[in-house]
């Protein structure tokens, strides 16, 4: 039985054309070109809001709604548009005392939380918006993120540099190997934008808190395989 199977497998392999049995890859030099540029961010998002504890769910929800209404009104009064405000979290959760003995935990009350994300196209206003949030009653500042709103044109500059870096590396290898580069056989890109993040809770956050905007790093890696044209 086993001898019959082996004989059939051998016959099948013999019937496969050589071109399909083994595909020869063309000689090539494969490298990764790298480039990055640093630019100041032009877009910021701030996450902040209110968390309130109360004995009952109704009391917590009502108190939170009242406090968050003041926060939203203050943001709009400072010039923030409706389209630049988005609720990021809304929750009402029971709170329990830390267990002191075996058995079910005792319910101590409820916590209502409401967070909003503020979008700013003028990053110089970040500090003033934080002050507005805290002054209006926000007791949570979850995080600040800086990004570049439209990185495409800036990434094009990095792409040119990454491709030039790939060719430079490939030519070094070609000279060392005594061959000449031909046309690219494949090109694959990997891009990344590293956001600047500033995170701090509102508890103890002083008025006019300093905020460093910094710079964004836009990176491009390009994997290129170059054909080997001929020997030198």
- pLDDT tens, position by position, 168-218: 999 999 999 999 999 999 999 987 766 554 443 333 444 456 677 778 889
Answer yes or no: do 94 and 138 share one domain: yes
Answer yes or no: do 65 and 115 share one domain: yes
Q: How confident is the model at residue 104 (pLDDT cuts 50, 70, 90)?
A: confident
> Which pLDDT belongs to residue 202?
39
Answer yes or no: do 74 and 131 share one domain: yes
Answer yes or no: do 52 and 107 share one domain: yes
189, 158 Cβ separation under 8 angstroms:
no
38, 217 Cβ separation under 8 angstroms:
yes
Whether 48 is covered by a domain: the verdict is yes
The pTM assigned to this predicted structure is 0.66
**Residue 130 corresponds to which tokens in the numbers above?**
């934080």
Answer yes or no: do 36 and 48 share one domain: no
Answer yes or no: do 205 and 231 share one domain: yes
Radius of gyration of the chain (CA): 30
Whether 123 is covered by a domain: the verdict is yes
Q: Which of 134, 142, 92, 137 has its CA nearest to residue 113?
A: 92
Whether 208 is covered by a domain: the verdict is yes
Question: Residue 8 pLDDT > 60, yes or no?
Answer: no
Answer yes or no: do 99 and 59 share one domain: yes
Whether 3 is covered by a domain: the verdict is no
Percent with pLDDT over 90 in the chain: 62
- Work out how many domains the chain is built from and give that number: 2
Answer yes or no: do 104 and 170 share one domain: no
Answer yes or no: do 161 and 109 share one domain: no
Which of 147, 180, 210 is a domain's end point?
A: 147
Whether 11 is covered by a domain: the verdict is no
> Which pLDDT belongs to residue 121?
93
Answer yes or no: do 35 and 52 share one domain: no
Three-class secondary structure of residue 37 per DSSP: strand
Whether 20 is covered by a domain: the verdict is no
User: What mean pLDDT is reported for the chain?
Assistant: 83
Which of 130, 147, 164 is a domain's end point?
A: 147
CA 64 to chain centre: 31
Whether 175 is covered by a domain: the verdict is yes
Q: Which domain holds residue 181?
A: 25-41+150-232
Answer yes or no: do 156 and 140 share one domain: no
Beta bridge partners of 74: none
Which of 12-26, 43-57, 58-72, 78-92 is predicted with the least confidence, judged by mean pLDDT? 12-26
Contacts of 142 (CB under 8 A, 6+ apart): 47, 48, 49, 88, 115, 199, 201
Dist CA 138 CA 178 (whole Å): 68
Which of 17-21, 90-94, 164-168, 179-183 is predicted with the least confidence, judged by mean pLDDT? 17-21
Whether 97 is covered by a domain: the verdict is yes
CATH number of residue 154's parent domain:
3.30.110.170
Contacts of 94 (CB under 8 A, 6+ apart): 57, 107, 109, 110
More confident of the two residues 5 and 215: 215
Which of 125, 147, 169 is a domain's end point?
A: 147
Beta bridge partners of 28: 227
User: Distances from the Cα of 132 to the Cαs of 63, 72, 165, 171, 185, in angstroms?
Assistant: 19, 10, 47, 57, 56
CATH number of residue 126's parent domain:
3.30.70.2970
Answer yes or no: do 143 and 205 share one domain: no
């Amino acid at each position: 039985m086993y001898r019959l199977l082996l004989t059939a497998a051998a016959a099948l392999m013999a019937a496969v054309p050589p071109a399909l049995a083994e595909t020869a890859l063309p000689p090539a030099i494969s490298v990764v070109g790298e480039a990055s540029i640093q630019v100041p961010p032009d877009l910021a998002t701030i996450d902040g809001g209110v968390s309130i504890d109360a004995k009952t769910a109704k009391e917590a929800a009502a108190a939170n709604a009242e406090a968050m209404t003041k926060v939203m009104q203050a943001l709009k009064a400072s010039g923030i548009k409706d389209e630049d405000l988005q609720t990021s979290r809304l929750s009402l959760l029971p709170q329990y005392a830390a267990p002191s003995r075996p058995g079910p935990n005792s319910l101590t009350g409820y916590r209502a939380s409401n967070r909003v994300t503020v979008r700013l196209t003028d990053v110089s206003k970040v500090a003033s918006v934080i002050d507005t949030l805290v002054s209006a009653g926000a007791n949570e500042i979850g995080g600040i993120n800086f990004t570049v709103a439209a990185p495409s044109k800036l990434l094009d500059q990095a792409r040119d540099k990454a491709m030039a870096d790939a060719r430079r590396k490939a030519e070094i290898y070609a000279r060392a190997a005594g061959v000449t580069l031909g046309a690219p056989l494949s090109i694959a890109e990997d891009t990344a934008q590293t956001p600047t993040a500033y995170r701090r809770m509102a508890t103890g956050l002083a008025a006019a808190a300093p905020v460093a905007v910094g710079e964004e790093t836009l990176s491009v890696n390009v994997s290129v395989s170059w054909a080997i044209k001929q020997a030198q």
